[in-house]
Amino acid sequence: DGVALARENIMGSLQDFRLIYGELLDEAEKRPRKAVIMPDLQAYRIFRERFITESDDKKYIGSVPGIHVGDIFHLRVELCVVGLHRPHRVSVDHIKQEDGTCIAVSVVSYAQSSDVKNNLDVLVYSGSVAAIGNQKIEGTNLALKKSMDTNTPVRVIHGFITNINGNCQRTYIYGGLYIIEKYWREKERENCYVYMFRLRRMAGQNHIDIKEILNSGQGESSGGIVIKDLSRGLERIPVSVVNSISDEYPMPYRYISRLQYPRNFHPAPPEGCGCVGGCSDSKRCACAVKNGGEIPFNDKGCIIVAKPLVYECGPSCKCPPTCHNRVGQHGIKFRMQVFKTKSMGWGVRTLDFIPSGSFVCEYIGEVLDDEEAQKRTTDEYLFAIGHNYYDAVLWAGLSRSIPSLQKGPDKDEEAGFAVDASKMGNFAKFINHSCTPNLYAQNVLYDHDDKNVPRIMFFACEDIPPHQELAYHYNYTIDQVYDVNGNLKKKKCLCGSTECDGWLY
């Protein structure tokens, strides 16, 4: 879990930085006469002012927690943001040690993409040129030698320059840890030397196919894929983004894969079950009892019937992670793709067949109380939660079979919450509305007991073939949606279903 958290934090920082950088570029585009000089460095300065204090600055020897071999970056300064390589001009990063000597910890090594040999296990790196007449090894060359002498692993970031439609594009790929095996001096010109270092990739690290990474990045060759993985490794399976309609990218936002609760939200942990060997006895399992005396999923992980609330087993339970009453908490199982629709902006489709009843994804974002939610300037990505227990059709009958729900949350004390995915969220924010949906939103609890703040998990309500758009019913009441000034808002529904009601709200 610590590893996943480190990844989430580091990718969150990167996305924060990219948002700032994107805003600066947008501004520059709007005001062409007011040049933004070195927007990457400006964005980095703003990012540090907003998010980083001196004490956050970490100097890593060896791998950086949360960074995987094969991670891709598009600006040199992004390497500073994640702590892979701190100087944004110099190609060797070093750390001063207690005895005053310096060891090299990372190297950015450049190649033209046309020169790429796929085997980057051995690398010859040319260090800095020694000053004319100087016989001594010093500066970053000395730091590299010191790493060689002490067998210190050095992070290698492969920098590539590709030419896309006449534009020079740089890509940085984290190649992993290398050991410096050897160094030598070559004569550059009379009395002037360059130091060369031979680095060998350490064994036991994931293989990376540089050519594949470079080719998969952009453009036609990858079927219009504009982003290979929107989640940048936060989902179990990459979430690609394609646009075959325009050259637009989704508005940048911070990708997160866990709900962000308010600081003061500390609900009591639920009473877990004690089924050490698994939850096989529905009469004894405390979670099955909370679900009305049954595990709500079949052995394929499909939900048996929609309920006002489903209790999955969770961290307070004694059962193992493989327990079949743990479904949504394990994350996505099917390949998802965000794509540009013809008339509804971005949408989400599945690349795999999804059997009816399967868990598809959770609606992730910031959890806000109603008061906070009202203050948000855009309501486009707000999902109101904890209210639909009162949905007359769903509630009738079902609550009778579930003891813990017989009373339900007290309506007078009902605290309204919403999940807002506008600034941070996962890909579910792009799922559109349909009047004949293939998903439904299921309230689920597993890591706390507050029925006002259930998780929103989407399950397939029919078999969904590959490449079909995913959609749920937004459940707006027509003529009941108002803007911040209290004016009635209306929007035509463009779902295209033969049974379309005509209006989204």
Question: Shortest distance, CB of residue 349 to ligand SAM, whole angstroms?
Answer: 12
What is the rounded CA–CA span in Å between residue 269 and residue 284? 20
For ligand SAM, the closer CB: 82 or 504: 504
363 in Cβ contact with 441 (< 8 Å): yes
- Nearest alpha carbon to residue 77 among 50, 104, 45: 45
Task: Give 340: exposed, middle or buried? Use CB within 10 Å, 0-12, 13-18, 19+.
Answer: buried
Task: Check the CA dihedral 361-364-367-370 and report its sign.
Answer: negative
Which of 65, 224, 252, 345 binds ligand SAM (CB under 6 A)? It is 345
Interacting residues with ligand SAM between 365 and 384 (CB under 6 A)? 380-381
Question: Shortest distance, CB of residue 348 to ligand SAM, whole angstroms?
Answer: 8
Question: Shortest distance, CB of residue 356 to ligand SAM, whole angstroms?
Answer: 22
Question: Shortest distance, CB of residue 338 to ligand SAM, whole angstroms?
Answer: 9
For ligand SAM, the closer CB: 422 or 452: 422
What is the rounded CA–CA span in Å between residue 358 and residue 327? 9
Task: Give 165: exposed, middle or buried? Use CB within 10 Å, 0-12, 13-18, 19+.
Answer: exposed
Pattern 224-253, ligand SAM, x by CB under 6 A: ------------------------------
Instruction: Supply 371's token pair.
Output: 């008061």
For ligand SAM, the closer CB: 9 or 343: 343
How many residues are given for the chain?
A: 505
334 in Cβ contact with 358 (< 8 Å): yes
Question: Nearest-CB residue to ligand SAM?
Answer: 345
Residue with tokens 């293939």: 438
For ligand SAM, the closer CB: 426 or 432: 432
Which of 148, 344, 354, 470 binds ligand SAM (CB under 6 A)? It is 344
For ligand SAM, the closer CB: 147 or 434: 434
What is the rounded CA–CA span in Å between residue 437 and residue 458? 11
Task: Give 317: exposed, middle or buried? Use CB within 10 Å, 0-12, 13-18, 19+.
Answer: buried
Residue 184 β-bridge partners: 196
- Nearest alpha carbon to residue 228 among 146, 335, 310: 335
Query: Is residue 504 involved in binding ligand SAM (CB under 6 A)?
Result: yes
What is the rounded CA–CA span in Å between residue 215 and residue 88? 25
Residue 336 β-bridge partners: 350
Question: Shortest distance, CB of residue 494 to ligand SAM, whole angstroms?
Answer: 4
Tell me how many residues contact ligand SAM (CB under 6 A): 14
Which of 73, 174, 346, 446 binds ligand SAM (CB under 6 A)? It is 346
Query: Is residue 338 involved in binding ligand SAM (CB under 6 A)?
Result: no
For ligand SAM, the closer CB: 112 or 343: 343
- Give the number of other Cβ atoms within 10 Å of residue 134's Cβ: 12
For ligand SAM, the closer CB: 65 or 250: 250
Residues 6+ apart with CB under 8 A from 22: 252
Residues 6+ apart with CB under 8 A from 388: 308, 394, 441, 443, 475
Interacting residues with ligand SAM between 409 and 438 (CB under 6 A)? 429-430, 432-433
What is the rounded CA–CA span in Å between residue 351 and residue 484? 38
Which helix (H) or strand (E) is 168 found in, with range?
strand 167-189
For ligand SAM, the closer CB: 334 or 363: 363
Question: Shortest distance, CB of residue 473 to ligand SAM, whole angstroms?
Answer: 10
- Of 12-20, 138-146, 345-353, 368-376, which segment contacts ligand SAM by CB under 6 A? 345-353
For ligand SAM, the closer CB: 254 or 326: 254
Question: Shortest distance, CB of residue 340 to ligand SAM, whole angstroms?
Answer: 8
Question: Shortest distance, CB of residue 46 to ligand SAM, whole angstroms?
Answer: 26
For ligand SAM, the closer CB: 125 or 430: 430
Interacting residues with ligand SAM between 436 and 495 (CB under 6 A)? 493-495
What's the chain's Rg over C-alpha atoms? 27
Question: Shortest distance, CB of residue 493 to ligand SAM, whole angstroms?
Answer: 5
32 in Cβ contact with 76 (< 8 Å): no
Query: Strand 366-369 relative to strand 336-340: parallel, antiparallel, unpaired?
Result: unpaired
For ligand SAM, the closer CB: 174 or 417: 417
Question: Shortest distance, CB of residue 250 to ligand SAM, whole angstroms?
Answer: 7
Pattern 379-408, ligand SAM, x by CB under 6 A: -xx---------------------------
Residues that bind ligand SAM (CB under 6 A): 344-347, 380-381, 429-430, 432-433, 493-495, 504
